[in-house]
Amino acid sequence: MRKIAIVGFKGGIGKTTTCVNLGAALALRGHRVLIVDTDTQANVAIALGINSFQKSLADVLIRKAKAEECILPARQNLDLLPSSLALFKAQQRMVLELAREEIFSELFVGLDGYEYLLLDCAPSVSLLTVNAMAYVDEVFIPVSMELLALAGAQQFLEYLKTISRTLGKGATIRLIIPTFYDPRRRVSLRVLGALEKTFGDRVTKPIRVDTQLSEAPGAGKTIFEYAPRSRGAVDYARLTETVATMPPLDRDKTE
Ligand SMILES: Nc1ncnc2c1ncn2[C@@H]1O[C@H](COP(=O)(O)OP(=O)(O)OP(=O)(O)O)[C@@H](O)[C@H]1O
Ligand SMILES: [Mg+2]
């Protein structure tokens, strides 16, 4: 099972959009996928058109339910472990626990039968984000095409190194995903160039700006359902091809 966190400390850079559409596209290719929403904003369920559910990740954290009991079927091959506002309170309780940075590993033992586990993360340094990064092997970082987002990505790298040192192990940054790319804007070319200089071939082909990508979650649909011929659908299908065909993680090469 590939365990991947989609993170980045800036808000609104396309983390959830990437998680939902990458998950959906992997599922369409026949892979069994589980998305775990670790953000208290609980956007993934909304984006997938799931409006009511009883249990969420918050119940797992307070040991009221097992992770596998909270899973909702979202699409064929695609399941969701949803978040809720209650996650905010549950996180506060987590602060008091021992080995609190590695609680996900303990609570998610029953999650099997999936080829991909994608964790959507909040745009903040929280115990939930640290747990997500301690749990996964791979990290994907969306970076929107603005100079501030570039700075955010660099800060994030430093932070990831600190976490790895503290935990004695670390997830590997496998992909940097340029988002909100607009080739007519000079800043897009500049940020993309800077990313490629720093991260080399870990930078994927960009996801272009596409209003249909911003409309799809409001309709509770993935981009492949909402606008299958759109730029967004083309770009996320291409990203998915990259993800599905990349070589397995070489643990010796981790930073
Ligand atoms: N390539 C794109 N083109 C146009 N709009 C986009 C694109 N990607 C995402 N959006 C829209 O931008 C907004 C922010 O995207 P998204 O929610 O994926 O970001 P996020 O990083 O998860 O945000 P947060 O940090 O709040 O969790 C959403 O309304 C989304 O629909
Ligand atoms: Mg989000």
The domains of the chain are located at 2-244
Does 209 sit in the ligand 1 pocket, CB within 6 Å?
yes
| pTM > 0.75: yes or no | yes
Helix (H, G, I), strand (E, B) or coil at 217: helix
Considering only CA atoms, which residue is closest to atom 29 of ligand 1?
A: 214
pLDDT at 252 over 70: no
Residue 157 Cα to ligand 1 middle (Å): 21
Interval 236-241 mean pLDDT = 98
Cα distance between residue 81 and residue 58, in whole Å: 10
pLDDT at 249: 85
181: β partners? 208
Residue 124's pLDDT band (boundaries 50, 70, 90)?
Answer: confident
pLDDT at 253 over 60: no
Residue 184 Cα to ligand 1 middle (Å): 20
What number does the ligand 1 atom closest to the CA of 211 have? 4
Q: What are the strands, taking DSSP E only, across the chain?
A: 2-6, 33-37, 72-75, 78-81, 116-120, 138-144, 172-179
Pick the CATH number of 2-244 from 3.40.50.200, 3.40.50.720, 3.40.50.300, 3.60.21.10: 3.40.50.300
Does 144 sit in the ligand 1 pocket, CB within 6 Å?
no
Cα distance between residue 223 and residue 51, in whole Å: 18
| Token code pair at residue 82 | 């949803």
Residue range 152-200, pLDDT digits in tens: 788 888 888 888 888 777 889 999 999 999 999 999 999 999 999 989 9
Considering only CA atoms, which residue is closest to atom 18 of ligand 1?
A: 14
pLDDT at 206 over 70: yes
| Token code pair at residue 202 | 């870990």
Cα distance between residue 173 and residue 164, in whole Å: 12
Beta strands at 33-37 and 116-120: parallel, antiparallel or unpaired: parallel
Number of H helices, E strands in the chain: 11, 7
Residue to mutate (ligand 1; options 16, 20, 205; most atoms within 8 A of CB) = 16
